[in-house]
Chain A
Amino acid sequence: MSKVYFSTWNGELINNIGKPQEEWEESAYNLPAQYDDHRDSKAFIGWDGVSLFHEDVDVIRLAMEYAAQYQEYSEACGRCAPGRWGGRILYDQLDKIARGEGSIADLDHLKEIGKSMQITSKCEIGKTVPNPILDLMTHFEAEFLECINEQKPSKHYHESVGYIAKITSPCSDACPAHVDIPGYIEGVRDLRFDDSLEATRQTMPLAHVCGRVCPHPCEDACRRTNLDEPISIMSLKRLGADWETDHGYDFFHPMEKKPAIDKKVAVIGAGPAGLTTAYYLAAEGIEVDVYEDLPVLGGEVAVGVPEYRMPIDKYNQDIECVRDMGVNFITNSRIGADDMRRFEKEYDATMVAVGTRISKKVRCENERPEIKGYWGAIDFLDKVNLYEKYGYKISKEEQEENLLTTDYVDLSGKTVVCVGGGFTSMDVVRCAIRANAKKVYMIYRRDEKTIIRNTTYEEYHEAVEEGVEFLFHSAVNKITTDENDILRELLIDKFELVPDPNGGRAQLVKIEGESYTIEADYLVPAVSQSADLDLLPEEWEIEMTSWATIKTNGKDYMTSRKGIFASGDCEYGPMTIVNAVGQAKRAASVMSRYVQTGEITLTDDEIMEDHLRKLRVYDKKEKITGWLPGLPREHSTILDVDARKDNNKEVNLGFTQDEALSEAERCMRCYYIAMVQA
């Protein structure tokens, strides 16, 4: 909330013109009044209105410069007649008035062309660019008339003024990796799959992965929801990647790799964050060595996410795309504190992206890792996936530790209990089904609605279909073992949600007398994971968050030690792939400048990105016009439960071309332009 001189943002009308600054009212929105730590904003203009933070803003030039941006934003514009010509006319007429050569008729033409653009443009840029311009013409009519009547330039027409603009959209804004979603959907709609893929890869190298297993926060910010249902954004990402793979093309990189600049970066961890960092750094001409503890590349998406959700041959395409940018991978290489000390000397910067690979305890009585049958989710999934995807067999010792008699995970005749509620626990129970377990339980403290919110509707229902039994409002109280310390039985407590009489958050309260026991062979804790950060030299005293992850400011991703960066789960805590990608992409950008200048800086585009994220681009109350409601969202075909539950075939078959095109047609291309005068 900030004090404004004038604002029409999102329908508010705050007019402090003529009032002393102390009496200015505040805007209801998180407007970027402060551009960065050394610059105030003077004005903010965008799709939804205009806000002035200073009396001295040249509103005519502001309108003209905003119209000019429409001509600049080549990635979005030039695609429709009203936008292409109308946008140019807006700019020309405003410039004519601003330089002191305008006429009254120009104002009428501006209004007429503005209205036509609002009604008929192809994308929201064309429809919304006239909005703040018409606002300014209405509320500052006197200033426009003064320039016209006196044939004089607007007040700062000939001065150098800084305008910083950024293109955005509700979905891209909500995407942690800020993927150009309308861009890649347009590629599908236009059957230009290479363009689609390149739009994705500008900020997201893992197109196969995030076209399959992304929890798609973007879909919660899809404007189409205001009309009927959100676009199936995630699934449409697959098309470009599948097209490249199917036709055996060389990788479509959205940028040309820059010549080598003789700088080196070490990346620890080849998961989504590590791969992303490496890809964008390599594109900048920086030499990148990625060190990976495991024998395989890909991190948790490779050894955590099961084959039936994320086929490894597809993920390997994403990884090869990163390698193709000229990245050097070193596997089977666990990095310790000594290595880190050495890296600090040998490399110009280091990225720590080791994820969170320690399964947290469920916190029950008699919980000891040495119990046979107590099997952490991360290790369980490692064993399953390393065998299923790469053929790595389980050694005799490890078989014994985990009560196995085969060199792969075979749970025939066994009962598996998993405690969790997130994606990892879903992977555990569904892998257990595929390993032929006799019975699989999922124990979760809260209810069905919450588990769906934490994962996805599809994930939960598919697990139920496959035979997983979900025990809600439950928790393990105690583990019982036999004389050989083999797990035998679990005591389960039941809970209920008791509303707070004072209107606070409802509390989970144990229901006395309803506890019961389950005979079980395995207990797999999958409640959460923590980071293994032994590699950080103690004397560096790297600052940690209260939940034991590496601390950064969440904007530039440098740790408290200069030149050491962190991104992904080891920075944020266990989170999504797309979150790791988003952080790493930003970090790579910061690092690419840091290795050359030694300075930590953000680009204007990144500063604007953060401002807009704070302001929030998506407005769920907005009424949509100009689109026919009631066109249902397409759903891709899911492999029948009997055809999938005993094997690793990909469950989600993806859209047919027909379904994909229908879905892409529903996209409303909600691009917007925001601009700050700083």
Chain B
Amino acid sequence: MSKTINFTIDGQPVQAQKGESILTVARKNGIYIPTMCYISKTSPCASCRMCVVEAQGVDGFVLSCNTPPTEGIEITTNTPALEQERVNIMKLYDVNHPLECGVCDKSGECDLQNKTLEFGVAQQNFTARDQSREIQDWGLINYDPSLCILCEKCVHVCNEVIGDDAIEVKFGGYSSTIIPKDAQTLDCTFCGECIAVCPVGALVSSDFKYSANAWELSRVPATCVHCSAGCPLEYETRHSGINGEDSLYRVKNNFEFASLCGAGRFGFDFENNAKKDEMVFNQAIKALENANAIRFSSMITNEEAHILQLLKTKLGIKLFNEDARKYQEFIKAYSSVSGKLHHSGSLESIKQADAVIVMGTRIASDNPAVRYALTTASKHNGAKIVYAHPMEDALMQNTVTQLMKYEVGTEEGVIALLANEILKDADLPENIRSYFDDLDLGYLDAESNIGDEELSFMSRSFARAENKVLIVGSDLFAHERSDNIAKFCAMIEKYSEYSLVIVPTEINTLGVSLICDLDADEPVANVVGYNAQGDFTIASFEDTDMAVPALNQQEGTFVNIDNKVLPTNVALSFDGYTLNDLAAHFGIESENTIDYTKQLSKEAGFKSIAFDSLENFLSEFGDDTRGYVLDEVECSAADELDELEDLPEFNGTVIYHCNPVLQFNAYTNKSRQLEKDTTLRGSAQFAAAARISDGDRVEITFGSRTITREFKLDSDLKGTIALNPTFDDVFDASRYRFEKSKIVRVVHE
């Protein structure tokens, strides 16, 4: 079926692949057809009707955005008759459109302005009685129906790309408007995608509204730092106040092809402020000189990680980063079977998939970009999606087709059952085949609660699938049996047609794991914390001993979920000292931190490309040309699996470390616009088991820690597991995300 169709546009011979429209082919060949409602990443809205073209031998005009070409057809994109209709459409769009460009946020980058000028609509002879429409305040998002041209882009992305499906068109001819779907006000994850795609000033950020004009803002291409997706974005800055200092005004992105979650879009103001303070600098040097170890987080660039590694060697100290170390160990076990260092899948392969298993992650909040890719797969490919997790997630209902709810702690058994099912007809080495033959399926089934029926249902629903992906997340990295789990993942990737995506926890967990030799964290004296806890802390967060620039004030690179090395740039300047300055004191000298970019380890797959040679944009057809993909690294491999251990039991009240949507880390916690829900959220069943009720202050004890939070009843949750946020607290990545916990209500005096 991969037949190509040959036809001509304006006399130029062109080719279409199956599924491509005339408009897509025209754009690929640099032929301009005007549109107002078309957006590449969704199905055609087909509302503006400007993209009409003429086809040889066909009476009337043909819509190019949703019509595939036929063999040999001759298309003409511009004739006086077409021009006249396009002008008329622009005149219609301009009927009663408020003449308030002077104060409209969109002015200067408005499709309506642009096209009105393009088509020379200088006067208007069509009129209609105007109507009064009220501006809607939807929290972070404002909607002005008078400015809305009903292109439907917002509705399409919300439903097809994001998956919130929170808005819809209220039909009614001239009174048509965009409304929250099945709700009085907007109830969604506030990704702000609707703002991004709005071609006019109808949907705007309520924070940005009336604060600046498009032409006054400078754009800095960068990489989002809130999760491991590393989405492309642009920080927009402008001087503010009389001192001419730059401020961050907003974040935008190349919405035509890419998407952002609300944390990326609204959580941009996490910059740090400091002046060079020599006394503090000297204290830091002293702390490092006396240090036994540096403890750091994965929210740093590859170049910083490289400096830390150099410091480790130089000072003979230990490096603690449990997040990256657990990931590193997981990958090591994975490599011992797969024979390579990098997983095979990517966000793009998820988007192309028609069968997906997601396991061991609450993906909608862990990595929204994966969720969006799943939404795309579900809507556009009709993908069947299995969600294997001890808790269901209401946000995933419209993508997930099968919930595989397993018992907390039984991940090793679950992955064994999945591997056994997926590889049942695979050509396996003899020892592995007999390993699977010897599995006590009855035991695994009973303890994990994943029945044979569920597994065969999965196989049936995947029967027609051609592009399968297994996505595994951070529940598995710190699992007691993570090594063997990783080996099972590798077996599936190696001996089936599944590609594998291992979702790193933080923006640069993957990069750090490739760059640093990490030591197991232990309670030693004199630990310097770098963006992490320590006896002396150097951090871009608040309450630190020495301030360093935040990630929107640094240039450098990250490695994201796609094994891509992505550059980021300085949006706001930072006047204090940096890690590079500290390192220089110890003889690790380099003018700029980014000088290390081309020195990153080739053994880990990095290429010796200088930072300034890295591209940082999407091509005009949406190809992600940012940075580069790591080279594959071969490792020695053996087809071996460990014997399964008895599956553990988690009884009583269990908490799951998991952030609410839009919250990830100290940066998002600092961000002005993002909601900070620090409550422990649980179901009615959880409340009953813990003998607490909505609004109670509770003490939560897990491991050796006790924290206090407010308890919130969440009607979307079920079962006896509650969600404990970590963005406002220290997340101990060395621990399995589910914890047996003791919950005690705090009684007020």
Interface residues in chain A, defined as those with a beta carbon under 8 Å from any beta carbon in chain B: 70-89, 92, 105, 109, 112-113, 116, 119-122, 189-192, 246-249, 623, 625-631, 637, 653, 656-658, 660-662, 665
Whether a CB of chain A sits under 8 angstroms from the CB of B171 is: yes
Check B169–A79 contact: CB distance below 8 A.
Answer: yes
In the complex, what residues of A have CB within 8 A of residue B127's CB?
Answer: 89, 92
Q: 7 pairs across A/B with beta carbons < 8 Å? A: A78-B171, A81-B48, A87-B173, A89-B92, A119-B85, A189-B43, A662-B19
In the complex, what residues of A have CB within 8 A of residue B347's CB?
Answer: none
Rounded to whole angstroms, the CA-CA distance of A249 and B396 in the bound complex is 12
Check A71–B173 contact: CB distance below 8 A.
Answer: yes
Check B397–A249 contact: CB distance below 8 A.
Answer: yes
Check A75–B171 contact: CB distance below 8 A.
Answer: yes
Check B171–A81 contact: CB distance below 8 A.
Answer: no
Rounded to whole angstroms, the CA-CA distance of A249 and B403 in the bound complex is 12
Whether a CB of chain A sits under 8 angstroms from the CB of B66 is: yes
Check B173–A80 contact: CB distance below 8 A.
Answer: no
Interface size of B as a range: 35 or more
Q: Tell me which of A78, A122, A656 contacts B172 (CB under 8 A).
A: A78
Further pairs besides A92-B128, A665-B67: 20, Cβ < 8 Å: A73-B173, A74-B173, A77-B176, A78-B170, A81-B50, A81-B89, A82-B49, A87-B173, A88-B129, A113-B126, A190-B43, A191-B160, A191-B379, A192-B168, A247-B400, A626-B61, A627-B58, A628-B58, A628-B67, A629-B58
Check B47–A85 contact: CB distance below 8 A.
Answer: no
In the complex, residue of chain A having the shortest beta-carbon distance to the beta carbon of B461: A246
Q: Could you say which of B59, B66, B128, B173 has the most chain A C-beta atoms within 10 Å of its C-beta?
A: B173
Given contacts A653-B464, A665-B67, contact A79 B49 (CB under 8 A): no
Rounded to whole angstroms, the CA-CA distance of A623 and B88 in the bound complex is 26
Rounded to whole angstroms, the CA-CA distance of A188 and B47 in the bound complex is 16
Check A85–B95 contact: CB distance below 8 A.
Answer: yes
Check A246–B401 contact: CB distance below 8 A.
Answer: yes
B149 to chain A, nearest CB (A): 7
Q: Tell me which of B61, B68, B126, B398 contacts A247 (CB under 8 A).
A: B398
In the complex, what residues of B have CB within 8 A of residue A112's CB?
Answer: 88
Q: Could you say which of A82, A189, A628 has the most chain B C-beta atoms within 10 Å of its C-beta?
A: A628
- Give chain B interface residues in 47-75, CB to chain A under 8 Å: 47-50, 52, 55, 58-62, 66-71, 73
Check B62–A626 contact: CB distance below 8 A.
Answer: yes
Which DSSP category, helix, strand, loop or mixed, fits chain B's interface?
loop
Stretch at the interface among B241-249, B380-388, B682-690: B380-388
Rounded to whole angstroms, the CA-CA distance of A456 and B142 in the bound complex is 53
Rounded to whole angstroms, the CA-CA distance of A658 and B73 in the bound complex is 23
In the complex, what residues of B have CB within 8 A of residue A630's CB?
Answer: 70-71, 73
Q: Could you say which of B19, B46, B354 has the most chain A C-beta atoms within 10 Å of its C-beta?
A: B46
In the complex, what residues of A have CB within 8 A of residue B160's CB?
Answer: 191
Given contacts A81-B48, A85-B92, A122-B47, contact A628 B62 (CB under 8 A): yes
Whether a CB of chain A sits under 8 angstroms from the CB of B93 is: yes
Check A626–B125 contact: CB distance below 8 A.
Answer: no
In the complex, what residues of A have CB within 8 A of residue B150's CB?
Answer: 78-79, 81, 84
Check A89–B126 contact: CB distance below 8 A.
Answer: yes
Check B58–A79 contact: CB distance below 8 A.
Answer: no
In the complex, what residues of B have CB within 8 A of residue A662's CB?
Answer: 19, 68
A376 to chain B, nearest CB (A): 35
Rounded to whole angstroms, the CA-CA distance of A656 and B465 in the bound complex is 10
Interface residues in chain B, defined as those with a beta carbon under 8 Å from any beta carbon in chain A: 19, 36, 43, 46-50, 52, 55, 58-62, 66-71, 73, 85, 88-89, 92-93, 95, 125-129, 149-150, 152, 156, 159-160, 165, 168-176, 354, 379-382, 384, 397-401, 403, 461, 464
Given contacts A82-B49, A85-B126, A120-B89, contact A247 B397 (CB under 8 A): yes
Rounded to whole angstroms, the CA-CA distance of A84 and B354 in the bound complex is 37
In the complex, what residues of B have CB within 8 A of residue A121's CB?
Answer: 49
Q: Could you say which of B36, B73, B150 has the most chain A C-beta atoms within 10 Å of its C-beta?
A: B150
Q: Tell me which of B36, B59, B68 contacts A631 (CB under 8 A).
A: B68
In the complex, what residues of B have CB within 8 A of residue A658's CB?
Answer: 19, 381
Given contacts A120-B49, A120-B61, A656-B464, contact A191 B126 (CB under 8 A): no
B342 to chain A, nearest CB (A): 30
Given contacts A81-B47, A631-B70, contact A71 B175 (CB under 8 A): yes
In the complex, what residues of B have CB within 8 A of residue A192's CB?
Answer: 159, 165, 168
Q: Tell me which of A78, A92, A105, A637 contacts B176 (CB under 8 A).
A: A78
Given contacts A81-B93, A85-B93, A665-B67, contact A70 B61 (CB under 8 A): no
Which 9 A-B residue pairs are closest in the complex by CB-CB distance? Answer: A78-B176, A657-B382, A626-B60, A625-B60, A88-B174, A71-B173, A85-B92, A625-B59, A78-B171
Given contacts A75-B171, A78-B172, A84-B176, contact A116 B85 (CB under 8 A): yes
Rounded to whole angstroms, the CA-CA distance of A218 and B493 in the bound complex is 47
In the complex, what residues of A have CB within 8 A of residue B354's CB?
Answer: 657
In the complex, residue of chain A having the shortest beta-carbon distance to the beta carbon of B152: A79
Check B70–A628 contact: CB distance below 8 A.
Answer: yes
In the complex, residue of chain B having the shortest beta-carbon distance to the beta carbon of A82: B49
A245 to chain B, nearest CB (A): 9
Rounded to whole angstroms, the CA-CA distance of A300 and B218 in the bound complex is 69
Rounded to whole angstroms, the CA-CA distance of A249 and B382 in the bound complex is 16
A78 to chain B, nearest CB (A): 3
Rounded to whole angstroms, the CA-CA distance of A82 and B55 in the bound complex is 21
Q: Tell me which of A72, A89, A653 contacts B128 (CB under 8 A).
A: A89
Given contacts A79-B47, A82-B49, A191-B160, contact A119 B61 (CB under 8 A): yes
Rounded to whole angstroms, the CA-CA distance of A113 and B397 in the bound complex is 45
In the complex, what residues of B have CB within 8 A of residue A626's CB?
Answer: 58-62
In the complex, what residues of A have CB within 8 A of residue B70's CB?
Answer: 628-631
In the complex, residue of chain B having the shortest beta-carbon distance to the beta carbon of A653: B464
In the complex, what residues of A have CB within 8 A of residue B403's CB?
Answer: 248
A107 to chain B, nearest CB (A): 13
In the complex, what residues of B have CB within 8 A of residue A656's CB?
Answer: 382, 464
In the complex, what residues of A have CB within 8 A of residue B384's CB?
Answer: 246
Check B48–A70 contact: CB distance below 8 A.
Answer: no
Q: Tell me which of A74, A80, A89, A190 contacts B48 (CB under 8 A).
A: A80
In the complex, what residues of A have CB within 8 A of residue B171's CB?
Answer: 74-79
In the complex, residue of chain A having the shortest beta-carbon distance to the beta carbon of B1: A658
Given contacts A81-B47, A120-B89, contact A88 B61 (CB under 8 A): no
Check B174–A85 contact: CB distance below 8 A.
Answer: yes
In the complex, residue of chain A having the shortest beta-carbon distance to the beta carbon of B92: A85
In the complex, what residues of A have CB within 8 A of residue B58's CB?
Answer: 625-629
Q: Tell me which of A70, A191, A637 contacts B173 (CB under 8 A).
A: A70
Rounded to whole angstroms, the CA-CA distance of A658 and B354 in the bound complex is 11
Given contacts A89-B127, A631-B70, contact A84 B173 (CB under 8 A): yes
Check B60–A80 contact: CB distance below 8 A.
Answer: no
Q: Tell me which of A71, A109, A625, A657 contacts B381 (CB under 8 A).
A: A657
A199 to chain B, nearest CB (A): 12
A191 to chain B, nearest CB (A): 5
In the complex, residue of chain B having the shortest beta-carbon distance to the beta carbon of A632: B70
In the complex, what residues of B have CB within 8 A of residue A109's CB?
Answer: 125-126
Q: Could you say which of A73, A87, A630 has the most chain B C-beta atoms within 10 Å of its C-beta?
A: A630
Rounded to whole angstroms, the CA-CA distance of A84 and B170 in the bound complex is 12
Rounded to whole angstroms, the CA-CA distance of A629 and B68 in the bound complex is 10
Rounded to whole angstroms, the CA-CA distance of A503 and B156 in the bound complex is 59
B20 to chain A, nearest CB (A): 11
In the complex, what residues of B have CB within 8 A of residue A119's CB?
Answer: 52, 60-61, 85
In the complex, what residues of A have CB within 8 A of residue B89's CB?
Answer: 81-82, 116, 120
B387 to chain A, nearest CB (A): 11
Check A81–B49 contact: CB distance below 8 A.
Answer: yes
B209 to chain A, nearest CB (A): 26
A619 to chain B, nearest CB (A): 16
In the complex, residue of chain A having the shortest beta-carbon distance to the beta carbon of B45: A190
Rounded to whole angstroms, the CA-CA distance of A119 and B50 in the bound complex is 11
Rounded to whole angstroms, the CA-CA distance of A247 and B399 in the bound complex is 7
B377 to chain A, nearest CB (A): 10
A582 to chain B, nearest CB (A): 25
In the complex, what residues of B have CB within 8 A of residue A665's CB?
Answer: 66-68
Rounded to whole angstroms, the CA-CA distance of A191 and B377 in the bound complex is 12
In the complex, residue of chain A having the shortest beta-carbon distance to the beta carbon of B463: A653
